[in-house]
Chains A and B, each alone.
Chain A
Amino acid sequence: MAVLSEELKNRIRAYIPKYPRKQAVTLPALHLVHDEMRTVSNEAIVEIAELLELAPSEVRDTMTFYQFFKGEGEKLGQTRLWICRGLACMLRGAYELIDHCEAKLGIRCGETTADGKITLEVAECIGACEGAPACLRNDAHVMDVSVNKADAMMDELRK
C-alpha cells in the first residue's frame, strides 16, 4: 500500500533534474517525507528508493547516518523544539533551560508530549550564539530564551 501521495512523489521528482545523479535526491526526498509525515516509515523508504532507482537499504543507510530523521515506529510531534547545548549556550544557561523544559513538559529530551504537540530535543550548536541560550522551533531560531520566554512558547505550542 502506497504511503506517499502522488503529490508528494511529484515534489520529490521535481528535484531529480537538478542533480547529475538520482541518488543525490535522497536527502531532499527524506526531508520532504519527514516534514509532511513527521516520520520516514520503512514503506516510505521503499517508495523513495523506487523513485530514485536505489535499493531501499541505500536510502536507509543514508537516512540513519543523520540521526535527524525519525524512522519506523517513531513519530515527531507537531512542533520540534530543539534546545541548544553548545558551549556558548551552556555558558549562558542552556543546561538549566533543558532541565526546566523537561520538568515543565514532563518528558525527557527525545520524547514527545502525550498530546503530540511538542517533541523536545537537545541540539548541538545551532549557530545562534549571539542569542544564547537559543532554541530551534522546527527550523527557525528563537534567541535569548529565558525561562519565562520558554514557558510562554511551550504554552502557545500546546494550545
Chain B
Amino acid sequence: MNKAHPWQRVGLKEPNMPYEPVLLARIARPGSQRLDGYRADGGYATFERALKNLKPEQVVAQVKDSGLRGRGGAGFPCGLKWTFLPKDHPGPIYLCVNADESEPCTYNNRILMEKDPHQVLEGVMLACYAIKSQKAFFYVRYEYGDAFRSLTSAIDELYAAGLLGENILKSGFNLDIVLHRGAGAYICGEETGLIESLEGKRAWPRIKPPFPAIEGAFRKPTIVNNVETLACVTQVMKRGKEWFQSLGIPPDPKNPRDAGSYGPKLYTIAGHVNSPKCVELPMGVTIRELVEKHGGGVWKGRKAKAVNPGGLSMGFVNVNTRLKDSDQTEYDIPLDFNGPGRVGCLGLGTAAVTVIDDRTSMVDVLHNVCQFFAHESCGQCTPCREGTGWMLKIVERMRRGRGTRGDLDILIDVADRMGIMPGTTICGLADGAGWPVKTAIRKFRDEFEAAIQSGSKSQYVKSLPVAAH
C-alpha cells in the first residue's frame, strides 16, 4: 500500500464515488446541439427563472458564493471578477467569451461548443444578465470551424425563439451575441490580446491596470470569461452552490488565501495513452488515475516518463520523482488549482494532461515546446520575443548534437528572466514559455546532459518547416 501524501484528495467527500457527468451529460445524445433538445432537457429554464425572479446582483452573488474559479488557466474567482465592474455604470458593458482555446494539447472548450453549444450560451446569457451587459462578443479561434458552425446555428435558433434580441421574454432585458472569428494567433487567448484583436488591431496585450473590468473592449467595462467557466455558470445557477461545493477540494484551512478547487472539471488526456479523450470529473483527480483509468494507460505497453499536467505553459512533472516523505511520486499529485504548483509546475492551467512515454527524447519534446512559443510570442516585449527565439536556437543546436555544457544553465537563466513574475513583460505568455523549459531541464537534467555529452542527433533533425500561421 502506498502511504498517502497529506495533501492527497483532502476533503473530497467520497473519494471513490462514481461520478455522473454534468457538463458533458448531453454530448453523446443525437442532436445535442439543437435548441429543442436542450429545452427538452430543461435548458433555458434557469435563464428564464433568473430573468423573472432574480435581480442581476443576486446572480452575481450566487456565482460568487459558489466558489467557481475561472477554467481558462489562471483560476481567478469568477463572481469576484464580475464585482470589479464599476457600480451603476451607464453602459455599455461588454462580455467577451474567450473561446480562443489555443493552449497546446487542450480541447475541452471545443467539445462543449461543438456538442452542447446551448449550455455555453445559457451561461453567456446568465452572465450578461448578471453584469448588465447587452452585448456579448464570442471570440472563437479560427481552427474551430465546427464549433463556429455549431454556435452560429445555435445563436440563430435563439433569435428565432425570442431568447436573444430585444425585450427577451418581455423582461425588458436586451441581449445580442456576436460571434467573432480569430485568425490563428495564440496570444488572442490573453484577455487584453483578445480585446485588441476584437477591436481590429494587432493582438498585443495591454498594460494593466486598467483591467478590462474598468476599461476593456472599446474602452468600456468588459468581462472576459472562458467557455467552460460559462458552462459552469449555467450549472451553478441551475443546481446551486451546495451541489457545486459537494465536488472538488475545499480551501486549505491553513491557507487563508486559498479559494478552494470546487466543482466539476473537464480534463483532456492526450499524447501517449491508449485512449485520448475528454473526461469530466470532480476537481482534484490525480494524474495517475486520469492516465491509468480514464486514458486507458500508456500506449504500446510502455511506461510514462513525463507528463504535462495542464497545457504546455504549465511545465512538466517527472512521474518517477518521489514526493518528499512519501511513497508517491509526482504522478500522484491531484489536479486541483494547487496540486501542480506543489511540484514546481506553474499551476493547473487548462487541465490538459499530455503523457510522454519512456522512449521519447525530452530534447525533442523541449524543441517542440520552444518552437511553439517562439512562433507565438507576439513580439511586443523584447525579453519574450528574443528570449523565446534564443531558447529555440539553443535547443535546436542541442537537437543537432552540438549542444554545449553551458546550454542548460543559459536556458534556465533566460527562462527565469522573462515574464510577469520577474516583471519584464506585459503578459504571461513569457512565463508560460519559460516554465516548460525550466521544469524539463530541472527534472530531466541527466537526460539532457547525456544527450549533450553523446552528441547524438534527434531522429527528426532533417526537416520541419516553419509554421505559416
> Which A residues fall within an 8 A CB radius of B?
18-21, 23-28, 30-31, 52, 61-62, 65-69, 82, 85-88, 90-92, 95, 98-99, 102, 108-110, 121-132, 136, 138-141
Contact = CB atoms under 8 A, between A and B. Distances in A.
A101 to B, nearest CB: 11
B372 A124 contact: yes
Interface string B169-185: 00000001010111111
B181 A27 contact: yes
Contact of A125 (B372, B465, B468): B372
Contacts of A92: 271-272
A138 B201 contact: no
A59 to B, nearest CB: 8
Contact of B463 (A26, A28, A95, A132): A95
A124 B181 CA distance: 17
Interface in B201-245: 201-203, 218, 220
A32 to B, nearest CB: 10
Given A88-B105, A139-B142, A123 B218 contact: no
Interface in B140-195: 141-146, 148, 176, 178, 180-186
5 contacts: A26-B200, A66-B203, A123-B184, A126-B143, A141-B143
B186 A124 contact: yes
Given A66-B469, A88-B271, 12 more contacts: A27-B200, A65-B185, A65-B202, A66-B183, A108-B465, A122-B466, A124-B376, A124-B469, A125-B105, A125-B372, A129-B107, A130-B269
Nearest to B459: A95
Closest 7 CB pairs of A and B: A139-B145, A26-B200, A129-B270, A66-B183, A125-B104, A88-B270, A23-B200
Contacts of A87: 104-105, 271, 308, 312, 354, 365, 368-369, 372
Given A26-B200, A87-B369, A129 B469 contact: no
Contact of B105 (A30, A86, A98): A86
Nearest to A90: B368
Contacts of A86: 104-105, 368, 372
B465 A109 contact: yes
Interface size class of B (residues with CB under 8 A): 35 or more
B101 A127 contact: yes
Contacts of A129: 105-107, 268, 270-271, 276, 352, 354
A62 B104 contact: no
A27 B183 contact: yes
Contacts of B272: 91-92
Given A124-B467, A126-B143, A140-B145, A95 B271 contact: no
B184 A88 contact: no
Interface string B442-469: 0000000000000000001011111111
A23 B195 CA distance: 12
A124 B102 CA distance: 9
A24 B200 contact: yes
Contacts of A91: 270-272, 354, 356-357, 360
B271 A19 contact: no
Contacts of B106: 125, 127, 129
Contact of A66 (B144, B184, B276): B184
Contacts of A30: 183
Nearest to A20: B218
A95 B181 contact: no
A66 B40 CA distance: 42
B15 interface: no
A19 to B, nearest CB: 7
A136 B468 CA distance: 13
Q: Which of B92, B176, B469 has the most CB of A within 10 A?
A: B469
A67 B375 CA distance: 10
Contact of B375 (A26, A121, A124, A126): A124
B292 interface: no
A52 B201 CA distance: 13
Q: Which of B102, B143, B269, B271 has the most CB of A within 10 A?
A: B143
B115 interface: no
A65 B107 contact: no
A130 B107 contact: yes
B104 A128 contact: no
Contacts of A131: 276
Contacts of A110: 465-466, 468
Nearest to B458: A95
A121 B145 contact: no
Contact of B102 (A21, A95, A125): A125
A27 B199 CA distance: 9
Interface string B306-329: 001000100000000000000000
A41 B142 CA distance: 21
B183 A20 contact: no
B51 interface: no
A130 B277 contact: yes
Nearest to B141: A127
Contacts of A140: 145-146
A137 to B, nearest CB: 9
A18 B202 contact: no
A126 B103 CA distance: 9
B463 A141 contact: no
A102 B200 CA distance: 34
Nearest to B101: A127
A10 B176 CA distance: 21
Contacts of B277: 130
B180 A28 contact: yes
A68 B469 contact: yes
A98 B464 contact: yes
Interface in B278-337: 278, 308, 312
Contacts of B438: none
